[in-house]
């Protein structure tokens, strides 16, 4: 299981006070959500953080649980599914919990941040990636994937690429590829990343959970790419760099 990349230390509230103030009602913040999940059987988590990530609904690493803030309004059945996702002993139990988690319609009380746009100087690069998307679609997916916007991101510094599913608010799905990745590692590696994200697009469009589980690994092997959430890219002799998508246990909205 991955180590947390960052940790935030906040004053801990007295758990006895939490239990008195919150006994099964709707949680209003991360502390109350954590206490509610503990009442439902959560054991291994010591810290809960609310997120606004549009794709990753629930993830955990070490003792930290990250939950989309929309789950504050989730019914008890979905909260129990979150507990099973973390504590479940069998793959079947966790997979069933994933389905319950992603089926819940998340609504964030705050507007989503505006998506980055491709810089004018990178439009030609995005056009080339779009052309390769069409070629790979025909070659590896029998032309079954939908046309999708390919964005070149100047914000991505450590991530290589990302697939974003369409949102309930009307934003279309997209694939973003890091400009720094293309420049640092070269075109062949960038195309490998593009195909990696296309496998996530295939998961989304065929009703699978967007993750790096068995379905992803099987399809990745079928299209000829590394079946891993993480891969090592050489930046210069003796050095390596972590890959596009963090290898975390996550239920992502598809």
Q: Which residues pair with 66 in a beta bridge?
A: 49, 59
Greatest alpha-carbon pair distance for the chain in Å reads 60
Contact predicate 83/40, CB 8 Å: yes
Angle at 7 between CA 15 and CA 250, to 5 degrees: 90
| 3-state SS record for 91-129 | HHHHHHHHHHHHHCCCCCCCCCCCCCCCCHHHHHHHHHH
Tens digit of each residue's pLDDT, the chain (254 residues): 333 323 333 344 444 443 434 445 788 899 999 999 999 999 989 999 998 776 678 888 888 998 998 899 899 999 999 999 999 888 888 888 888 888 888 765 554 556 789 999 999 999 999 999 999 999 999 999 999 999 999 998 888 999 998 876 678 899 999 999 999 999 999 999 999 999 999 999 998 878 888 899 999 999 999 888 766 665 543 333 433 332 223 333 33
Helix, strand or coil for residue 241? strand
In the chain the domains, ranked by start, together with CATH numbers, are: 15-103 (3.30.2010), 120-245 (3.30.2010.10)
């Amino acid at each position: 299981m991955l180590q947390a990349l960052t940790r935030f230390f906040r004053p801990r509230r007295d758990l006895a006070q939490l239990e008195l103030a919150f006994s099964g009602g709707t949680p209003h913040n991360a502390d109350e959500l954590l206490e509610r999940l503990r009442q439902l059987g959560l054991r291994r988590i010591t810290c809960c953080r609310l997120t606004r990530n549009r794709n990753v609904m629930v993830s955990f690493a070490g003792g930290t649980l990250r939950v989309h803030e929309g789950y504050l309004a989730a019914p008890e059945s979905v909260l129990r599914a979150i507990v099973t996702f973390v504590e479940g002993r069998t793959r079947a139990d966790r997979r069933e919990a994933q389905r319950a988690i992603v089926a819940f319609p998340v609504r964030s009380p705050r507007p989503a941040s505006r998506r980055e746009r491709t810089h004018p100087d990178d439009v030609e690069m995005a056009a080339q990636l779009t052309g390769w998307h069409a070629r790979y679609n025909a070659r590896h997916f029998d032309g079954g994937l939908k046309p999708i916007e390919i964005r070149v991101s100047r914000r991505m510094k450590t991530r290589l690429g990302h697939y974003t599913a369409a949102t309930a608010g009307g934003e279309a799905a997209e694939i973003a590829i890091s400009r720094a990745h293309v420049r640092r590692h070269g075109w062949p590696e960038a195309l490998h990343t593009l195909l990696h994200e296309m496998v996530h697009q295939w998961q989304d469009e065929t009703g699978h959970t967007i993750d790096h589980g068995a379905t992803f690994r099987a399809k990745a092997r079928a299209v000829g790419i590394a079946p891993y959430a993480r891969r090592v890219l050489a930046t210069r002799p003796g050095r390596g760099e972590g890959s596009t998508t963090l290898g975390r246990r996550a239920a992502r909205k598809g």
